[in-house]
Structure 1
Amino acid sequence: MIKNIVFDFGDIFLNLDKPAVYRHLEVFGHPELSPEMDTLAKTYEVGKLSSSDFLGKLQHHIPNASISELTVAWNSILLDFPESRLTFLEQLKAEGTYRLFLLSNTNELHIQHVKKTMGTKRWNRFEACFEQFYLSHEIQMRKPNTEIFEFVLNENGLVADKTLFIDDTQENTDAAASIGIRTWHLIVGSEDVTDVKTKL
């Protein structure tokens, strides 16, 4: 019986346009991230670079783009947060049946942008739904490393097989499943987090 639900953020609650970054960078002659830029992004995602250092190092790879242009490109992946999902989450919280957690691979620039576009009131409504709110750049771990799932379980006294983890990335749900966590690999476009009770 599921007692705990751990949610991803992007493409679970917040809609994403994952190819948008590449469309923006293509203007500057970089239609994809080089292996070096990918490593840079992952380092930033675990909080081992400041936003200014990250943008500066990214500009080293894309020197014909300004810092502001790179910031716009980087945040272009972030779309809207439908009110229906937030209302659903608040109802789930109010029912009190499950312990709710957020576990997101993200970074400071993205979170700052989302807070700004959502507004303080809506962001606070969202954050208040969770017992714990884990962001990779704050806890310096990222999915799919199993240590991040073990950390969440141990930190909160959760039993793996009584915990459901929801993510849109198969690699992440596979990693969680490998240590006994129940998972839902949500297929974006054909499934929605508001249907979570069908998975419990």
Structure 2
Amino acid sequence: MKIKTKQLTQMAVLAAMSILLVSLIRFPIFPAAPFLEYDPADIPLLIGTFMFGPLGGLILTAVVSVLQGVTVSSSSGIIGILMHLFATGSFVIVAGNVYKRNKTRKGAITGLALGTVTMTATMALWNIAITPFFLGIPIEAVLPMIIPIIIPFNLLKAGINSAITFVVYKSVSKVLGLEIQETKVAESK
């Protein structure tokens, strides 16, 4: 993937938007797991994925994961950086590949839906592996949280961010100076 100056600038704007969003909007959804916080920081990353493809989205995710991990989320350290990279990285790879093959509204919806499911499954597994280490608790304390807390949290977070992305991605891409080309396919089918 050859990145031009204009694309690099657009990606930098999206990365800055992501960091700004996580610093302004961040709150826990489930009191039993206050370390799981909703934030809209993935929205610019998903927009970038639709604009620049799955590799561009993954590069954005890696940059934002590190920047977020050393600034607004520094208390979670390397674990937070890795968890963000795993969560959003799995999402953008799936959503980006689906949308890359089918640049229609249906392709966007399918990509976002499959990305949501992928992120949720990925984070269920990574929370089992990493949360005991991160919080210093036994795995037996994490396992009962998977179905009632971790899976619903990730579905909510990714679902909300997907819905917002779907609504705003064309407008944001126009503001950034990159038209998203959709193929002409009958949406009624």
- Per the shorter chain, which TM-score range? 0.3 to 0.5
Kindly indicate which of the two structures has a greater share of residues assigned to helix: 2
User: TM-score, normalising length from structure 1?
Assistant: 0.33
Higher strand share: 1
Q: With a CA cutoff of 8 Å and minimum separation of 6, indicate the structure with the bigger relative contact order.
A: 1
Q: Which protein has the larger Cα radius of gyration, Structure 1 or Structure 2?
A: 1
